[in-house]
Amino acid sequence: MTTVRVEIPPKLIPLFDGEADVRAADGGRGSAKTRTFAKMTAIRALMWDAAGRSGQILCGRQFMNSLADSSLEEVKAAIRSEPWMLPAFDIGEKYIKTRSGRVYYTFTGLDRNVASVKSKARILLCWVDEAEPVTEEAWTTLIPTLREEDSELWVTWNSKRKSAPVEKRFKGVDDPRIKYVRVNWRDNPWFPDILERVRQRDMRDRPDQYQHIWEGDFVTVVEGAYYAASLTAAKAEGRIGKVAADPLMTTRAIWDIGGTGAKADACAIWICQFVGREIRWLNYYEAQGQPLATHIAWLRANGYGNALCVLPHDGATNDRVHDVSYESALRAAGFDVQIIANQGAGAAMKRVEAARRLFPAMWFDEKCQPGIDAIGWYHEKRDEERGIGLGPEHDWSSHGADAFGLGPVAYEMPKTSKPAPRKRSSAWAA
């Protein structure tokens, strides 16, 4: 038996030791996790080949329009980095297999082809790289396809969203068969000088992105997001932390209306007070597919039973099935309600502009963190081919951002009372 020495970052060694169903790692740039996983897939291929087993190593990503978007080149580079390994593989422009042909690699995009994965035969190992955007539906379809007795799922990603399915499935799970580790640039013994210079520049020039890019933290402010600069300033000025409610001021619950059912839009509620020139954001709530009674129960349970409910214009529209509106239902439940008039075309951007103007006067309690995550992500949808913006992207962040933007609109609403008529002077009375 020939023995070879393979060097990988020490922090990753326990991840590949012993038996497991899942081996997962996340972290920032420069950690060597992708190259390590690619190298370890090749080692497994050679072990299976030597044992006379046949089958495939499936390398998947959520988005893969061509082989250029796959892990193909990473695996090639990993194999070529070990002189002893290269002769054992047949590497072509579009394929990788062992010399015997018993073990081979396949590459697929999960967004379009996850259903076809079911029919793939003898998957010995599945490695999903850049797994952050992989949907719950894709995981639900993919995992049962690993039918070999000792087949494994390997997963690598750089965290962005706390709510991403990959976070919930593989991080902090109480299951000894699911191994996980976070690895970052400082865990890479071969971290190159050129990357160190890039890291230092990012720390200096892009402090709002540094923690995500290099330390693997969740994204709190997306580059190019509508509120990126405003949130960065709020953090620097200490306007995010503990914010006390004023018992003498009106508490407002500002809504973005959702619906019921698994596929319905989320309902988002910001709790705030207008105190002098300040807007104090006190709490945040979001739920998907739940009835109105659930939202009302949260308001009452958290001490907001007397809140003024501020609704968008569709809050006055009757439900087609039950012939009741959010406005009428909330009034029936004992709440005062304010309806914000339809702002017409470009309403979303009007909310953004109002929020940007008033952001320097905003204070955020730490209980609002899920809402802060939403407005930090809220960004413009782009047509890259034409180089134009298409308005706000409708995704998980848009419900919290829409409710947030309604607050400044309500704050800036003009008074509707008519001015008192002028009194005639004595000179005109004669």
**What is residue 298's predicted lDDT score, i.e. its pLDDT?**
97
The vertex-258 CA angle with 309 and 291, nearest 5°, equals 85
At 193-234, the pLDDT tens digits run: 999 999 999 988 887 788 889 999 887 767 678 998 899 889
pLDDT for 179 equals: 97
State the pTM of this model: 0.64
* Cβ contact 364:372 at 8 Å: yes
Q: Tell me the CA end-to-end span of the chain in Å, nearest whole number.
A: 121
**Contact call for residues 365 and 340 (beta carbons, < 8 A):** no
Cα distance between residue 308 and residue 245, in whole Å: 15
Q: How confident is the model at residue 425 (pLDDT cuts 50, 70, 90)?
A: very low
pLDDT digits (tens, 9 = 90+) for 375-391: 988 988 877 677 667 77
CATH architecture classification, 10-187: 3-Layer(aba) Sandwich (3.40)
**Among 3.40.50.11610, 3.30.360.10, 3.30.420.240, 3.10.180.10, what is the CATH number of 228-411?**
3.30.420.240
Delimit the domains of the chain by residue range: 10-187, 228-411
Closest of 239, 264, 268, 271 to residue 362, by C-alpha: 239
User: Which pLDDT does position 29 carry in this prediction?
Assistant: 95
- For residue 145, pLDDT beyond 60: yes
d(CA 205, CA 202): 5
Calculated CA dihedral for residues 378, 380, 381, 383, nearest 10 degrees? -160
Summarize pLDDT for 153-162 with one digit per residue, the tens: 999 999 988 8
How far apart, in Å, are the Cα atoms of 66 and each of 70, 107, 120? 7, 9, 19
* pLDDT at residue number 421: 53
Same fold, 10-187 and 228-411: no
